Structure 1
Amino acid sequence: MSHTKLNILVQKCDELKLKITLLEGDSKSSYESSEWKQKNNRHNVKKLRDEYDELYSLRANKMMADSELVAKSLNDVPEEKKCFRNKSGLVALDLINNKHKYYVNQLNYLKFLTEKYKKNQNLLKSKHEEMQQENSEIKETKQDETAVSKDTRTLENKFEKSKLRYTEALHIFQAYVAIKQDMQQNNQTFDQQLDQLENSIKISEAEHDKQFKVNQQATCSRDIAITNLEKCEKEIHSARKEREMNISKVRKRAEEKKLQYTKRIGEPQILNDTNTGTMTLDDNDEFGISKISLYAQAITKIKQATGVTDTKEVVIRFENQGESKNRLENIKNENKENTTKLEEKCINLIQEFNQMRYSGNDKIVEAQIVLEEKRKEFSVIKFNLKEVNENLDMSLALLLSIKSGLNHLLDKLQPNANDLEKLKSRDSEKYSFQQLSLCDEKIDEIMLELKDDDINSTWNLLNQNEYISMIELGQPEYNTHIKLKIRKKENAF
């Protein structure tokens, strides 16, 4: 095994030696070829440098020759030698040709201008000669002027003045003829115009009388209405006073009864302290007192709901308001008709005024006075209409408030379905009266139910229940604003 390994190593060494010898031969050949190429390149570079030197010397000689030629040619113009420095002959020739062309163009332009100025000069000379001839002729005519020329000039001036006067006279004559024709036409139709004006004046006077009567009637009706209103106010005031007197009397009686009741309660207590006996109140007195207190509570509730003392007054007020509403609506419609009529009359009067404008100053003044009176009447009627509309709005608002009070009272009393079916539709006029009657019936039923019950004990029980519920639920004593929790949006992150 060792012998075979040695043979393999020997073979490998021989192979490596052969490779080394081959590589050495290749390196020698490449070195020799590179040296030969370097020699050739050096030789070529020398040749090119010699050629460049020859060309540069030729160029320098040519430039010297061109510069000498340019210098010789521009000896007369030393200032332009700087422009042609270090430039070949061809370039210098091109520049010289361009400058030559420029100077030739300038020369041609100057020649054209000289010819133009010569022509203008000749024209001016001819004009000057003509002016001199005219001046000489004028001088000759002035010297030869005689009295005949002066006379002709004066006659021409007089003729022109007479022409102007003639035209003015013709214009005045035509104006007077036109005025005469207009006067003749007016004379033919003047009587008819006068008759028409007299008729229109009579018609306007009759209308004025009618309007004056209407105004008087309106003032009378206004005074009557004011007196009626004052009477109504006095009656209402007296009725209110009587009502207050009655209420005060009833209150006094109630207070006296309360005092009597307290005295009666106090007497048996004293007797119990002194004497060991027991005394009780009569059942009739207790029943009367409880009934009075129930009525008082019901009346206070009705007052809170409707703002009125008695149910009869509510009914009377409803009836009066229905009549007043109808009356106000009728007055409103009548006023609207009157306003439309007055507006039409006002328009007609304005048209008549426009027709009568050119008939004379007196008629214009009268028409203006009539117009102002009508406008004043119209403004007064408008003001009255506004007041009537305001009263109507107030009455409607009052009606609505009363109706809402009745609805609230009905909701509080909680009527049955059968009772509600008895009521007519809301659009009917008797709906509110039916509501009132239903409220009266319900109040009477409640009063009958509460006859046998002890009101004070039930009232105390209700107060105790409310107190217990407030403590248990933690409710506040009065109405308070509770802040609700605001839910915040959860972030996506």
Structure 2
Amino acid sequence: MSSSVKPSLEDQITEMKRKIQLLERDRAAIYESSQATIQKNRDTIHQLRQENMRLYREQAEANAGNDRGLEKDAYLNMSGKASLTMLEQSVMSKKKRLNALKHTNQTQKRRLEELKIEYQRLKPEGSGGAQSADARILKREEDAMKLRVLENRLEKTQFKCEEAENITINYEKVKSHLQEESLTYESQLDSFEAEILEARQEHQNMQATYNNAKLSKETAKAELQQLEEQLYKERKEREHIIAIHRREVEECKDQAEKVDRRAQRTAMQPDELSSEAQRSTSRMAGEEETAIYTFEEAFRRIMEATGVTDIQEIVERFTSQKDRHQHLEKLRGENEKELEQLKEQKELLSQQLQDMKYSGEAKLSRDRQTLEESEQQLQAQQQRCDAAKERHDWLIKALSTVRAGLEHLADKLQHITLSEDTAAEVSPDSDEYVLELMTQCELKLQTLHEKVQGKDLTALMKEMEEEEFFVRIEGKLPASNTRVMLPEDQRPDTLTDEEESKEDRADFISREALKRQSQLIIDSKSKKKQSKKKTSKI
């Protein structure tokens, strides 16, 4: 009975040992596979940590660059002392933070050493039961997770510590740079104050120049008013003279009518003696008519161009225009020089303003009032520059007006010729052309004055008006009443081809029609004179 039971127990023990061996083998295989997996995971974690550290560094560098740019922009609006104070406070706070991070780092290192010791202690020394092996595996996994967490924290702490050290170094550099710049601020401020004093002195000088220019402007206005009053008086005198001439023309018309009636009475009884006398009279009248017409036309053109009747006054006016032209040229040169000086001063002040803006942030708060004063002075100088430019434009317009008047006068006097040695060839676009034109006009006027000197101007004017009237009346005579002119007595024809064709086609007209035509001719002549005077004034 006992022999039959005993083998069964041994078999059971053997079976149990065999099962235990199988379990130990399975446990060893599981342990080895888990160790291989753990090692593989550790390698992967190490690679990922290296990648994270690299990414953290790149992100920190980018953030550090942005932070430094923002901090630099923030310090630009502060004074030197304020920026130094802020930097010192920031450095102190960073030092405190660095000390706290160092303490945390040391604490974590001690904790890591303790965990490593505990890990070594809990590391399996041999094979045990299946339950203790599973517990140790779980414990190791928990310890590994804690270790990874602690390593991550340690790496973050080290990275923050390095970043804090970099920031501290940058702040130290900025602080040293600001301290070096603060040593030169006093000399720069002294130089700026000296420049500001010079600018104020120059501003006072320019203010005095402006006052002088203002007085000159008022004087010019007074002279202009006097000239306008004188022009008004001369216009009244001309109107009075025109009225007198009109009355004289009416008298001449009456006399012409009487002559016509007398000619009609004696037209039926002509004889040879009267015809011969008429021919001689017409020949003498033709010569006188030619001379009178020439003087009349020249004097009329001068009157239309200048608007005066006295020859001496005409000469004085042209002389005064020459002096005025020279004075305007001189003023224009002075204004151009002054304008260039003002532009240079503006550029200098603008450069000073830019230098004051970007030379340093510390002086901005103390020099802000000085900068505003400089800007006001710059605006005043700009206004003065604009005023000088306007005056320069006005002088140019006045010079162009004088030039147009001289050209108009030269056109009126172009029938008077000068000697070849007095005429000089000058480009019409040059400034000397105006002076040359004025000289030629003066010589022509002197020539004309010499021709009419010693003659009775009133009688000459009256004869010129009468001769002009008779010439216009003769242009309306019928074709049958013609005058034969000898070759030596021929004069330049004053009528155009169109008027000659009208004379050829004209028929006999009545006295009333002749009167109407004469009145129309006189009215058109007076209107032309008024229009020419208005255009010359404009």
- TM-score, normalised to structure 1's length? 0.51
Corresponding residue number in structure 2 for 1:341: 341
Which of 171, 179, 192 is the equivalent residue of 1:176?
171
Which of 158, 172, 190 is the equivalent residue of 1:195?
190
1:354-385 deviation per Cα after TM superposition (whole angstroms, max 9, x unaligned): 22123424444333333232222212211211
Which of 410, 417, 422 is the equivalent residue of 1:424?
422
Instruction: Report the CA distance between 1:172 and its aligned residue.
Output: 2.8
Query: In 2 relative to 1, CA 182–423 (structure 1 residues): closer, same or farther, beyond 3 Å?
Result: closer
Corresponding residue number in structure 1 for 2:4: none
Distance 2:155 2:481 in 1: 126
Query: In 2 relative to 1, CA 189–265 (structure 1 residues): closer, same or farther, beyond 3 Å?
Result: closer
Corresponding residue number in structure 2 for 1:301: 297
Gaps of 5+ in 1: 1-132, 270-289, 412-419, 470-474, 481-493
Distance 1:208 1:145 in 2: 91
Query: In 2 relative to 1, CA 200–233 (structure 1 residues): closer, same or farther, beyond 3 Å?
Result: same
Instruction: Report the CA distance between 1:389 and its aligned residue.
Output: 0.7
Distance 2:452 2:233 in 1: 30
Query: In 2 relative to 1, CA 305–200 (structure 1 residues): closer, same or farther, beyond 3 Å?
Result: closer
Q: Please give the secondary structure, in 1, of the residue aligned with 2:414.
A: helix
Distance 2:178 2:203 in 1: 35
Query: In 2 relative to 1, CA 211–440 (structure 1 residues): closer, same or farther, beyond 3 Å?
Result: closer
Distance 1:442 1:478 in 2: 31
Q: Assess if the C-alpha contact under 8 Å between 1:315 and 1:433 holds in 2.
A: yes
Query: In 2 relative to 1, CA 145–432 (structure 1 residues): closer, same or farther, beyond 3 Å?
Result: same
Distance 1:139 1:398 in 2: 111
Query: In 2 relative to 1, CA 295–226 (structure 1 residues): closer, same or farther, beyond 3 Å?
Result: farther
Instruction: Report the CA distance between 1:170 and its aligned residue.
Output: 0.6
Corresponding residue number in structure 2 for 1:85: none
Q: Assess if the C-alpha contact under 8 Å between 1:305 and 1:405 holds in 2.
A: yes
Distance 1:436 1:193 in 2: 68
Instruction: Report the CA distance between 1:402 and its aligned residue.
Output: 1.0
Q: Which amino acid aligns with 2:391?
A: N
Q: Aligned pair 1:162/2:157, yes or no?
A: yes
Distance 1:377 1:368 in 2: 14
Q: Aligned pair 1:225/2:210, yes or no?
A: no
Distance 2:246 2:290 in 1: 15
Distance 1:350 1:215 in 2: 22
Q: Which amino acid aligns with 1:239?
A: E
Q: Assess if the C-alpha contact under 8 Å between 1:325 and 1:392 holds in 2.
A: yes
Q: Assess if the C-alpha contact under 8 Å between 2:353 and 2:371 holds in 1.
A: yes
Distance 2:408 2:326 in 1: 18
Distance 1:261 1:476 in 2: 30
Corresponding residue number in structure 2 for 1:404: 411
Question: Identity over aligned residues, as a percent?
Answer: 20
Q: In terms of Rg, which structure is larger?
A: 1
Corresponding residue number in structure 2 for 1:244: 239
Corresponding residue number in structure 1 for 2:387: 380
Distance 1:458 1:202 in 2: 79
Instruction: Report the CA distance between 1:160 and its aligned residue.
Output: 1.0
Corresponding residue number in structure 1 for 2:122: none
Distance 1:370 1:457 in 2: 71
Q: Assess if the C-alpha contact under 8 Å between 2:298 and 2:413 holds in 1.
A: no
Q: Please give the secondary structure, in 2, of the residue aligned with 1:407.
A: coil
Query: In 2 relative to 1, CA 164–296 (structure 1 residues): closer, same or farther, beyond 3 Å?
Result: same
Q: Please give the secondary structure, in 1, of the residue aligned with 2:422.
A: coil
Distance 2:317 2:481 in 1: 39
Q: Assess if the C-alpha contact under 8 Å between 1:342 and 1:378 holds in 2.
A: yes
Corresponding residue number in structure 2 for 1:310: 309
Q: Assess if the C-alpha contact under 8 Å between 1:339 and 1:378 holds in 2.
A: yes
Instruction: Report the CA distance between 1:185 and its aligned residue.
Output: 2.2
Distance 2:204 2:497 in 1: 77
Q: Which amino acid aligns with 1:396?
A: R
Corresponding residue number in structure 2 for 1:433: 442
Distance 2:193 2:159 in 1: 49
Corresponding residue number in structure 2 for 1:150: 145
Query: In 2 relative to 1, CA 314–467 (structure 1 residues): closer, same or farther, beyond 3 Å?
Result: farther
Distance 2:232 2:392 in 1: 27
Larger RCO of the pair (alpha carbons < 8 Å, separation 6+): 2
**How many residues align structurally?**
311
- 1:58-207 matches, cutoff 5 A: 138=37, 144-146=137-139, 147-207=142-202
Gaps of 5+ in 2: 1-31, 42-133, 264-284, 426-435, 485-495, 502-538
Query: In 2 relative to 1, CA 355–465 (structure 1 residues): closer, same or farther, beyond 3 Å?
Result: farther
